[in-house]
Every structure is written in C-alpha cells, then in structure tokens.
Amino acid sequence: MPESGKPSRAPSRAAALAMYRRRARLYDLELALFEPIRDKAIERLALRRGETVLDVGCGTGLSLPLLRRAVGAQGRIVGIEQSPEMIQQARERVEKARWHNVTLLCAPVETAAMPVRADAALFHFTHDILRRSEAVANVVAHLKPGARVVATGLKWAPRWAVPVNALVLPAALHSVTSLEGLGKPWSRLAEHLGRLEVSTTLLGAVYIASGRVAAGG
C-alpha cells in the first residue's frame, strides 16, 4: 500500500507531543475499541509472577492493571512515556491503585534511562517509537537474553482491501506523525530480534508481532 501520497519522513517528537497533548483527556475512550488487542498482546507476553516488564510508550497507563496482575506485587513494571499530559494520568492511576512496584519515566524512549534489565517488553500502538531505530535499540539493550517482546498497532491491509485502508489512513493520521513503515511497522524490531511471529486482525488493519531477544543477548 503506498503511503497515500504522504512523504516518507521520520516520526516527529514535537508533533507527537502536540498531538498527545490534545488527545490526553479523551485517549482512554478513543482506544476502547482496541482493548481486546491489548488483552491478546499481554497474554502473548506470557508474564510470570516476579518478572520485570517494560511498558514502552505507556500513555495513560491503560496496560498497567493487566501487567500488574500478571507479574504480581513481587514483579516490577517500568512505563516510559514522553508526553507529560499522558504520563500524568498514568501516575494518577498508579497512585489510586497504590502500586509500589510501578516506575514511570517521562522521557523519549531513545534516551530513557531504564533502571532495569527486563524479562519482557510491550509496544502497544506505538508506531512512532517502533520506527525509531535508536528507540528500539535502547529498549532491547535493557532486556535480558531470552526476553519476550510483543508489539501491536495499525498497519496497511493488503492492496486489494481498499475499504479497510480507507479506514486505516484517518486512524493513523490521528495517532502517528509519520506513515513511514506502515506496511511492516515491526521491521526495525525484527532487525534486533530476528524472526517475529506476526498475526493480523480487523481485516488486516491491526497486527500483533512477537519475538524474543537472542539467548546470547
């Protein structure tokens, strides 16, 4: 699927900050349709009690309850989010639940100083992050050998699925700053992990990709 006449430019941090400043209040409602995808993604992480997981681009913290349930009180969750407006809502969620094993970092993923080597990482609808090689590299550098990684998000459906792509385009323009790589959004992750298992849903408009860090690190 061509990029619909749009330039193939890199994601813009400034544009992303402005976009999520506008979306912060309604973000949870906007993603309600995709909650079953979140459930499947976290299930595929196969988290165990006591493990450490990175929630990359954690937004308002919608994944935190499911991640916390999976790793338990003895596990640890580190959420990374560059939008102050979004992460403030995540902080409020954590404080309300009184979770003491959740660390939230307000920083771009590519420069975030993650204080852990994690057992798993989740990229849920984080296209701009996945298209930044330095961001993906920083996450992988903070994962243990054999760590599980799951990524989800929008993608172009096959070329013949014109009605589906007519829906993907406005959804993408509402949530990402670059359409670059929307054919295979997981490709930069695959450069670090090797083979990924990729499945699609919603008529090919949404993907779930999973893989592991090489046992040798």
Write the pLDDT tens digit of every residue in 71-98: 999 999 999 999 999 999 999 999 999 9
Q: How distant, in Å, are the alpha carbons of 4, 33, 102, 189 from that of 30?
A: 24, 7, 24, 26
Give the pLDDT mean for 142-147.
97
| Tokens at 207, concatenated | 């993907």
DSSP state at residue 32:
G
Give the pLDDT mean for 99-107.
97
| Tokens at 24, concatenated | 């912060």
Q: What percent of the chain has pLDDT over 70?
A: 95
**Entry pTM:** 0.93
- Cβ–Cβ under 8 Å, residues 105 and 79: yes
| Tokens at 117, concatenated | 């080597």
Tokens 């459930």 identify what position? Answer: 39
Q: Identify the CA nearest to 122 among candidates 92, 78, 156, 160.
A: 78
Taking the C-alpha atoms of residue 69 and residue 166, their distance in angstroms, rounded to an integer, is: 37
Taking the C-alpha atoms of residue 139 and residue 101, their distance in angstroms, rounded to an integer, is: 19
| pLDDT beyond 50 at 4 | no
Taking the C-alpha atoms of residue 79 and residue 68, their distance in angstroms, rounded to an integer, is: 12
Say how far residue 189 (Cα) sits from the centre of its chain.
11
Q: 13-212: which CATH topology?
A: Rossmann fold (3.40.50)
Out of 7-21, 24-38, 83-97, least confident range: 7-21
Compute the C-alpha angle 177/179/182, nearest 5°: 130
pLDDT of residue 9: 78
- Cβ–Cβ under 8 Å, residues 171 and 164: no
Taking the C-alpha atoms of residue 114 and residue 69, their distance in angstroms, rounded to an integer, is: 22
160-173 pLDDT per residue, tens: 999 999 999 999 99
Provide the strand spans (E) within 51-189: 52-56, 76-81, 102-106, 118-124, 143-154
